[in-house]
Chain A
């Protein structure tokens, strides 16, 4: 082994705590910007790719970021609901219908509730098809009460087709609220590496039933007369003793019904695939009119705006890191300088024995190289691990 490397290794091992501290400092200085860069690039990639495939989002007026995050990543935001009538109006608009002559490419989303801690997304089968979501096991929802789970949701909850899943109780203390609904898991979707993996998908109407807009109960007319409080023509008033169903079964499916005008039923957002850029511009302009009580977002623009904030934070972070790195390098230089002074006797001994005058200097350079080399190797390993883990972390963040 090279004599310098031998002596440097021995010195590093003897002063292992000091060496480890220096190696850690170098590793952190080098790894942090690389990890941040990695994270931001993966975050940017994930946000941008989803935004590119979701060109136009229409929702209730309010926070643009909330709406974009809700429509793209199923995040529950504090937004007003968009009436279902808006979806119908958009779907019937000329701009939406002329896409490829294949009918409307307009998808309603309702994700105001959750099941097993995962967002419960009420939508249509066309949305699943549009996102390329195909069952890896089981089948897509067929009737009310059916649910298909994203890959990660199924893994986290440990569920498979044939199992049941309760929706989350939204208020423990409000008896007027709907009780949790028991959903039937009909399928598990293949993983896509997107926010859809964490979601539980149900039919739009199932989502409304979970929200209490529809329900199923015993036939009041055929029920025990004692449970009938009042009969006024076709209108019947039943007592609370009439059984309400918290699970849709083939026997009670027919009893499920909705109250109110469906046009007023809530949606979180409507995703629109305009046939052309022009059609998109017209639709966006139309639904951005104040009288419409809605807003249309260019997802890519909103995401770019969001990313610009992230980039700005990254720049500040990097600036701070640069200062810290500079300070660390100064400390590193100081440590080696002091080390050189403290090792004066060692230097003299080496010189008297027969070492060259530059031996101690070279020895210190090798020691420095060893510390920096090990620090860089660790930083490289951390960065590689970050590259590997970043997509999962970003997905979890979104």
Chain B
């Protein structure tokens, strides 16, 4: 499902130059849930950006769901991202001026896909599954952090992507809320049949994953950029 080989990436000099990441080989099978761990600054987030096609490596090959991401131009990478990748961020940034439902449907709108009754029904279904059934038309400002995080998960899954990339999805939640939130996240990802790559610092949660990959095993060089 995901393969990355001989990746070499460094940020341009004017954009945090000095940091570089090298990955000899990274592979995730379809439907697998992989945790990526490593200290801050080890390049976890950069790896996720490379897999999502947000950044392009200077060398190497990345293939996701049969698409050679490294060979795509900017517009094609955007289309790939919208079609193949669902992303859950460390700190969920919902657009404050859109309702929960509109936020969840945002990837479809950006992909110029039809936001029809079926799409709304899917968004409603996802919201119901994360316990936000009655809050589809609420604005993010009226929700708790946990509710926003759950809405972020719905947004990542609305386009039924084959791959979900999560960057410490429960880091903004307290310890009591993190466990149940991750349970829900896993349950949804599995129900959707998606492949999951999740960055985490929380060693207590690692047992949930099929496999744990340490950045030390991937990277040969690293600089000072987080």
Contact = CB atoms under 8 A, between A and B. Distances in A.
Interface of A: 3, 6-7, 10-11, 13-15, 345-346, 348-357, 359
B13 to A, nearest CB: 20
Contact of B93 (A13, A349, A354, A356): A349
Contact of B95 (A13, A349, A351, A354): A349
Nearest to A11: B97
B52 A352 contact: yes
A172 B109 CA distance: 78
A353 B97 contact: no
A13 B97 contact: yes
A6 B106 CA distance: 11
B87 A356 contact: no
Give the interface SS of chain A, mostly helix, strand, loop or mixed. helix
A354 B81 contact: yes
B46 to A, nearest CB: 13
A346 B93 contact: yes
Given A10-B97, A13-B97, A349-B95, A354 B89 contact: no
B102 A353 contact: no
B110 A359 contact: yes
Contacts of B107: 353-354
A187 B62 CA distance: 96
Contacts of A355: 78, 110
Contacts of B109: 3, 6-7
A3 B108 CA distance: 10
Contacts of A345: 93
A75 B206 CA distance: 94
B54 interface: yes
A356 B53 CA distance: 12
A350 B111 CA distance: 11
B83 to A, nearest CB: 8
Contacts of A13: 97
Nearest to B52: A352
Nearest to A14: B97
Nearest to A12: B97
Contacts of B15: none
B165 to A, nearest CB: 10
17 contacts: A3-B109, A3-B112, A7-B98, A10-B97, A10-B98, A11-B97, A15-B97, A349-B95, A350-B110, A353-B81, A353-B107, A354-B107, A354-B110, A354-B111, A356-B75, A356-B78, A359-B110
A349 to B, nearest CB: 4
B82 interface: yes
